[in-house]
């Protein structure tokens, strides 16, 4: 049952990912990417990581995909240049893929079986975030605040020039 | 006896199940899910038909006219006539439209709206899909609606559609923040993301007449109002219906849709409205619990749908009463008032919790809300103070 589901989800996710990389219309590629994100969320559900799967849909489909789509909208719609095969790109992609495969096979975690999955409790998530990982959390918060202030400053400068 | 009536639907499902007694586990799960889906679809399609005709009747009363009254008694069969009309209409797709995206948009919108209905507890033991992270599921699925609206706007290849989609996405993203943050105090106080646990936490009565609903605490009342207004925006209803403002941009992202695809959009909008109000009932109005201990003999699902119906009637009333707001007013309201107040709700809920959840906590909570509200209203007071008008040429 699980392996059948895995194969179906894998085929769908990979097809969406290939479509995202190869479709000529940018919007189609972005929407295919959203489908691939949903596929990855489905993997998380299959592994019993309900919380991560839901957050994956929430953040990537609800926010990142919308952001990508907006970015495409705001860029100019030039005529698409005739595509040449991008050999350096292929080499870089293959190198990254090989590196990832090597790293995954070297990881000892794969050989151990997963522990029992705890039911999702907000208390547990809160405890882990606020006790164990409080410094990374604060760093991320600082980074995001800086990004937010940066975005506001960019917008403010633009309106000053207009005046 | 009351218990039998209360659990009648649960037992009906078990009865449907009995021929499957020896079947493998996966078949049982699949049949169970299908029964739940069929039940949710049937109930909400019926509610959609009822509410659409009720809305037209009530709007008619508000605007001093009759409303639909030709088809069937009191015009009650109007939705059937509308449905047949929509079904036999020609489906027009613009020649320059992006065919696939144009076709997929209404399907995705309807699918997300129906999915969000699946996690709401409609009665005792009557949650179609009891997920531990139900609240998170609701918002995760709900946030994909924006993408579908964009697909509708972009796929139509029409300026009105695109403008409508841009407006819709802008206001949906802005109001999703207060919508989600007003849910946080409830999740904090209950300590669970499961809708069933949230409903269970609102059980019990003070002196048998005052229910333990979160809307009766200061933070709960504030959060409920904020949630309600944000829900109004998320479902693109009248005071905030700039995305489809008929007098400006035809029908927004639905301009290029006709026939049954338009009907699908219409249905999805209503389903989204049911879902968001169903969640409001679950989070703040005690879910399926009766308002008074003495009225507990009335079945739980009746209470849920009574509360849902009351909220929907307020939606219709608001639509008949308020004019459309401007885009900049909507945005200012979201970021300058709704968001700070939503954060205040979290603080206020903390005051309620650490004040012992009793009278002291109630007063602490009220104090936090009152102080922030007064400061905010003073800060946001944009009334320009003009000097007294002087007349230079005419005395």
The domain locations on chain A are 1-77, 118-163
CA angle B118, B124, B129 (to 5 degrees): 20
Instruction: Among B63, B88, B113, give the residue marking a domain's end.
Output: B88
* Better-scored residue on pLDDT, B205 or B116: B116
> How many Cβ atoms from other residues are within 10 Å of residue A107's Cβ?
9
* B69-88 b/e (C-beta count within 10 Å ≥ 16 → b): eeeeeebbebbeebbeebee
Given a contact cutoff of 8 angstroms between Cβ atoms, the answer to whether B117 and B36 are in contact is no
Q: Supply the pLDDT for residue A21.
A: 81
Residues 6+ apart with CB under 8 A from A106: none
In a domain, B307, yes or no: yes
Q: Which residue matches tokens 């949650």? A: B127
Rounded Cα distance between A51 and B225, Å, is 28
Q: What are phi and psi of B21, to 5 degrees?
A: -50, -45
pTM: 0.83
> Within an 8 Å CB–CB cutoff, is residue B349 touching chain A?
no
Q: Supply the pLDDT for residue A111.
A: 58
Q: What is the domain count for chain B?
A: 2
Instruction: Say whether both B203 and B61 belong to one domain.
Output: no
Q: In the predicted model, is pLDDT for residue A117 greater than 70?
A: no
Q: Supply the pLDDT for residue A163.
A: 47
Instruction: Among B53, B88, B123, give the residue marking a domain's end.
Output: B88
A residues 29..88 contacting B (CB < 8 A): 31, 34, 50-51, 54-55, 57-58, 61-63, 65-66, 69-70, 73
Q: In the predicted model, is pLDDT for residue B161 greater than 50?
A: yes
Average pLDDT rounded to a whole number, residues B162-187: 87
B residues 91..120 contacting A (CB < 8 A): 98, 100-101
Average pLDDT rounded to a whole number, residues B148-175: 85
Contact B140 A122 (CB under 8 A): no
Rounded Cα distance between B206 and B212, Å, is 7
Q: In the predicted model, is pLDDT for residue B229 greater than 60?
A: yes
Instruction: Say whether both B145 and B173 belong to one domain.
Output: yes
Q: In the predicted model, is pLDDT for residue A2 greater than 60?
A: yes
Instruction: Say whether both B76 and B216 belong to one domain.
Output: no
Residue B206 pLDDT grade (very low, low, confident, very high; cuts 50, 70, 90):
confident
Q: In the predicted model, is pLDDT for residue A139 greater than 60?
A: yes
Average pLDDT rounded to a whole number, residues B23-36: 80
Task: Domain of residue B64: give its range.
Answer: 9-88
- Closest by Cβ to A66, choosing from B26, B101, B169: B169
Rounded Cα distance between B184 and B249, Å, is 36
When the pLDDT of each residue in chain A is averaged and rounded to a whole number, the result is 81
- Closest by Cβ to B187, choosing from A58, A69, A122: A122
Q: In the predicted model, is pLDDT for residue B270 greater than 50?
A: yes
Rounded Cα distance between B154 and B177, Å, is 25
Nearest CA in chain B to A50: B133
Instruction: Say whether both B228 and B156 belong to one domain.
Output: yes
Q: Supply the pLDDT for residue B300.
A: 83
Q: Supply the pLDDT for residue B384.
A: 65
> Within an 8 Å CB–CB cutoff, is residue B24 touching chain A?
no
Residue A146 pLDDT grade (very low, low, confident, very high; cuts 50, 70, 90):
very high
Q: Supply the pLDDT for residue B190.
A: 86
Instruction: Say whether both B33 and B98 belong to one domain.
Output: no
Check residue A80 and report its DSSP letter: P
Rounded Cα distance between A147 and A156, Å, is 14
B279: tokens are: 């969640």
Average pLDDT rounded to a whole number, residues A4-29: 85
Q: Supply the pLDDT for residue B310.
A: 92
Instruction: Say whether both B294 and B263 belong to one domain.
Output: yes
Average pLDDT rounded to a whole number, residues B220-224: 90
- Closest by Cβ to A31, choosing from B101, B187, B192: B101
Which residue from B224, B238, B372 is spatially nearest to B310, judged by alpha carbons?
B224
Instruction: Say whether both B80 and B108 belong to one domain.
Output: no
Instruction: Say whether both B47 and B143 belong to one domain.
Output: no
In a domain, B394, yes or no: no
Q: Is the predicted ipTM greater than 0.95, yes or no?
A: no
Helix (H, G, I), strand (E, B) or coil at B205: strand
Average pLDDT rounded to a whole number, residues A86-97: 88
Contact A50 B187 (CB under 8 A): no
Contact B98 A123 (CB under 8 A): no
Instruction: Say whether both B71 and B141 belong to one domain.
Output: no
Dihedral sign from CA coordinates of B360, B365, B370, B372: positive
Q: Which residue matches tokens 């990982």? A: A133
Q: Supply the pLDDT for residue A113.
A: 64
Rounded Cα distance between B234 and B276, Å, is 9
Residue B286 pLDDT grade (very low, low, confident, very high; cuts 50, 70, 90):
confident
Residues 6+ apart with CB under 8 A from A46: A2, A5, A6, A9
Residue B386 pLDDT grade (very low, low, confident, very high; cuts 50, 70, 90):
low
CA distances from B168 to A105, B117, B251, B262, B395 (A): 46, 21, 12, 17, 51
Average pLDDT rounded to a whole number, residues B227-256: 81
Instruction: Say whether both B351 and B229 belong to one domain.
Output: yes
Instruction: Say whether both B57 and B175 belong to one domain.
Output: no
Rounded Cα distance between B126 and B7, Å, is 9
Given a contact cutoff of 8 angstroms between Cβ atoms, the answer to whether A1 and A17 are in contact is no
Q: Is CATH 1.20.120.1200 what the domain over A1-77 is classified as, yes or no? A: yes
In a domain, B60, yes or no: yes
CA atoms within 13 A on the CB side of A127: 6
- % pLDDT > 70, chain A: 81
Q: In the predicted model, is pLDDT for residue B17 greater than 80?
A: no
Rounded Cα distance between A16 and B25, Å, is 31
Residue A110 pLDDT grade (very low, low, confident, very high; cuts 50, 70, 90):
low
Instruction: Say whether both B81 and B106 belong to one domain.
Output: no
Residues 6+ apart with CB under 8 A from A55: B136, B140
Residue A88 pLDDT grade (very low, low, confident, very high; cuts 50, 70, 90):
confident
Structure confidence by residue, pLDDT tens digits, A29-85: 888 998 999 999 988 888 877 888 888 888 888 888 888 888 887 776 655 555 667
B223: tokens are: 């959060």
In a domain, B213, yes or no: yes
A residues 112..151 contacting B (CB < 8 A): 119-123
Q: In the predicted model, is pLDDT for residue B37 greater than 50?
A: yes
């Amino acid at each position: 049952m699980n392996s059948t589901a895995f194969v179906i989800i894998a085929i769908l996710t990979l097809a969406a990912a290939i479509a995202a990389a190869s479709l000529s219309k940018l919007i189609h590629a972005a929407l295919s990417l959203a489908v691939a994100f949903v596929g990855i969320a489905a993997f998380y559900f299959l592994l019993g990581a309900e919380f991560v799967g839901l957050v994956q849909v929430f953040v990537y489909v609800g926010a990142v995909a919308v952001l990508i789509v907006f970015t495409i909208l705001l860029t100019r719609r030039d005529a698409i240049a005739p595509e040449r095969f991008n050999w350096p790109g292929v080499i870089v992609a293959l190198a990254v893929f090989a590196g990832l495969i090597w790293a995954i096979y070297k990881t000892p975690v794969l050989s151990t079986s997963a522990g029992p999955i705890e039911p999702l409790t907000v208390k547990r998530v809160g405890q882990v975030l606020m006790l164990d990982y409080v410094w990374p959390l604060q760093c991320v918060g600082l980074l995001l605040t800086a990004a937010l202030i940066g975005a506001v400053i960019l917008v403010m400068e633009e309106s000053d020039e207009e005046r | 006896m009351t218990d039998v009536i209360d659990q009648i639907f649960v037992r009906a499902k078990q009865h449907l199940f009995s021929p499957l007694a020896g079947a493998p586990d996966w078949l049982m799960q699949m049949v169970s899910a299908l029964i739940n889906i069929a039940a949710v679809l049937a109930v909400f399609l019926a509610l959609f038909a009822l509410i659409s005709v009720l809305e037209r009747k009530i709007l008619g009363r508000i605007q001093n006219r009759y409303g639909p009254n030709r088809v069937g008694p009191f015009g009650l069969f109007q939705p059937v006539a509308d449905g047949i009309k929509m079904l036999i209409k020609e489906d027009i797709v613009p020649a320059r439209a992006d065919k696939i995206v144009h076709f997929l948009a209404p399907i995705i919108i309807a699918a997300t709206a129906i999915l969000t209905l699946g996690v709401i507890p409609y009665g005792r033991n009557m949650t179609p899909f009891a997920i531990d992270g139900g609240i998170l599921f609701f918002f995760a699925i709900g946030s994909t609606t924006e993408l579908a609206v964009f697909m509708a706007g972009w796929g139509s290849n029409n300026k009105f559609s695109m403008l409508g989609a841009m407006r819709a996405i802008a206001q949906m993203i802005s109001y999703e923040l207060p919508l989600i943050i007003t849910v946080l105090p409830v999740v904090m106080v209950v300590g669970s993301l499961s809708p069933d646990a949230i409903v269970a936490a609102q059980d019990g009565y003070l002196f048998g007449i005052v229910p333990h609903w979160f809307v009766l605490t200061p933070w709960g009342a504030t959060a409920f109002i904020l949630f309600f207004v944000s829900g109004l925006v998320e479902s693109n209803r009248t005071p905030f219906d700039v995305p489809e403002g008929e007098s400006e941009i035809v029908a927004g992202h639905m301009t290029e849709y006709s026939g049954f695809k338009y009907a699908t959009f219409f249905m999805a909008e209503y389903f989204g409205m049911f879902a968001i109000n169903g969640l409001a009932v679950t989070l703040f109005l005690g879910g399926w619990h009766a308002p008074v201990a003495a009225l507990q003999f009335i079945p739980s699902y009746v209470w849920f749908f009574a509360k849902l119906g009351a909220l929907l009637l307020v939606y219709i009333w608001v639509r008949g009463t308020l004019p459309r707001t401007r885009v900049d007013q909507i945005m200012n309201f979201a970021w300058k008032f709704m968001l700070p107040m939503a954060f205040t709700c979290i603080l206020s809920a903390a005051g309620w919790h650490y004040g012992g959840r009793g009278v002291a906590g109630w007063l602490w909570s009220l104090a936090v809300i009152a102080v922030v509200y007064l400061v905010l209203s003073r800060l946001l007071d944009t009334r320009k103070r003009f000097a007294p008008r002087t007349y230079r040429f005419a005395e």
